[in-house]
Amino acid sequence: MTEEGRRPRLAEVARAAGVSEITASRVMRGVPGVAPGTVERVRAAADRLGYLRNSLAGALAGQDARTRQVAVVLPSLSNAVFSEVLRGIEDRLEGAGYHPILGVSHYDPAREAALIASLLGWQPAGLIVAPTEMGEPTRQMLRKAGVPVVEIMDLPEDPVDMAVGLSQPGAGKAMGYFLAGRGVRRVAVVEHGVQADGRAARRVAGFRAAMQEAGIEIVAETRSPGPSSVAAGRHATAEVLGAAPEVIWYPNDDMAIGGYFECLARGIAVPGQVGLEGVQRARMGPGAAGAAEHDRDPPPRDGRPRGRADPGPPRRARGPAHCRCGLSPDRRRHGEGGRGDGKLSPPFSRRAAACRG
């Protein structure tokens, strides 16, 4: 037994389990090679005594090169896609005996740099970051940190270490080519006003390029001040509905969800009277399933590829990205069954295929 108010020591766990302190330490650090019966006795003694391992002390003593924590820096948790990314990261890491420690940058590059510096000070086993427009000083700090670094949600030309994501301009173009293949001629574009959200800006640029190439008219556009949100999407949608677009395009799903709620409040059928096209497949709940059309890339939202990334030499491997959209404006405009399968009409089918490369 330990004194009231004092944390139990490893030596007390070892005595209670009838093993040496070295063996108890190996068990608590998860070092392989200890007999299963011994592991069970030591862990039972630790639970009984309320022992908590001091990971930082172990790292300082040289028992562990790093803690069993992985730093995660995301720009937002109000955007549903990032909360789902975090959930996927957590599932994968905890299955491998690691735990995420989180920082949120709020799309502020200076805050992001400070968070990265602070989290690296705790000697994490690695770092996962969905960066803003990360500056060179921050990139240099990461290169010198000596830990695996994974940049997610994008494909930078010169990643610090590893990158797992998709081409943001390519995603925007693929969505534009899809609309062109469906015969859409009148589109409204809704954006948000966070300049540091470079991923959204690149999606918008790709989409606009596809619209220009296809000769599709952007009949209305608006930029909501501040970060993306359901409320901002609803307000912005109200501004563009008067132009009678066939489709309203949103670079973020939380804004598309807001657009759906605005249409719902006005009695506007989606997709019967207007189509809504989003990006990230955010869950809206069973009552609203199928309300908005989405780019159907293999879901980057779930975070699982990040948990499986293999720390190794920097490399750049490209895999396929797919745009499989399911809903559109009233399909009767294009003929019953026509283009309802997500296929594109030439020449846009060839161009979308190029985006997938």
Class of domain 10-53: mainly alpha
What is the distance between the alpha carbons of residues 287 and 264, in angstroms, rounded to a whole number?
12
pLDDT tens profile 188-238: 999 887 676 888 889 999 999 999 999 999 999 998 887 788 999 999 999
Q: In what order do the strands lie in the sheet with 162-164?
A: 99-104, 69-74, 126-129, 149-152, 162-164
Mean pLDDT of all residues in the chain? 78
Q: Above pLDDT 90, what percent of the chain?
A: 45
Residue with tokens 């490369």: 357
pLDDT tens profile 330-342: 332 333 333 333 3
Q: Which CATH architecture has domain 69-164?
A: 3-Layer(aba) Sandwich (3.40)
Which tokens in the block code for residue 21? 């302190």
Of residues 286 and 108, more confidently modeled: 108
Check for a shared fold between 69-164 and 168-292+327-356: yes
User: From its phi and psi, is residue 291 left (phi > 0), alpha (psi between -120 and 50) or beta?
Assistant: alpha
For residue 64, name the pLDDT band (cuts at 50, 70, 90).
low
The domain spans of the chain are: 10-53, 69-164, 168-292+327-356
pLDDT tens profile 233-257: 999 999 999 999 999 999 888 899 9
pLDDT score, position 353: 35
Topology given in CATH for the domain delimited by 168-292+327-356: Rossmann fold (3.40.50)
